[in-house]
Amino acid sequence: MPLVEVTYAPTVPETLLRELGSVLPHLVSLAVECPEEPYDGDLQPGDVEIRFRALSPLDRSGLPVVIEIKSKWTAARETNRQERMDTLHAHLRAATGLVDFGVYLSMPTAAWSQGD
């Protein structure tokens, strides 16, 4: 279950942020799928959590949009993590038209429980 945080500058239009919110669950799921956590294309509540945060006047960022993804470490994800993010970046660009942005993948040792 990836956690996704989108940090954005005040100049980024809300329509673009809504488009990101629409395409991110599927594209992030493709980017982090692996044998331990296969993606069947049928996202359920809790599969991908996305949070949007506007930059504050005190933040320093060189990009108008930064997308941070946290997904549990697996050996399969480790082997090609840069390729995964390069592909995700290209897919997000194609899907939204966004040009000036970055994507970052963090893979901590983690566990998730959502209950029944």
CA angle 41, 47, 48 (to 5 degrees): 100
In the chain, what is the greatest distance between 2 CA atoms, to the nearest angstrom?
Answer: 42
pLDDT tens digits in sequence order for the chain, 116 residues long: 799 999 999 999 999 999 999 999 999 999 999 998 889 889 988 889 999 999 999 999 999 999 999 998 888 888 999 999 999 999 999 999 999 999 999 987 766 677 76
Quick check: 29 and 90 in contact, CB under 8 A? no
pLDDT of residue 103: 97
- Residue 68 identity: E
- Residue 66 identity: V
Q: Taking each helix axis from N to C terminus, what angle separates 14-32 and 81-96, rounded to the nearest 10 degrees?
A: 150
pLDDT of residue 45: 86
pLDDT of residue 114: 76
Superfamily of domain 3-106 in the CATH hierarchy: Macrophage Migration Inhibitory Factor (3.30.429.10)
pLDDT of residue 108: 77
pLDDT of residue 116: 67
CA 102 to chain centre: 10
User: Which pTM value belongs to this model?
Assistant: 0.90
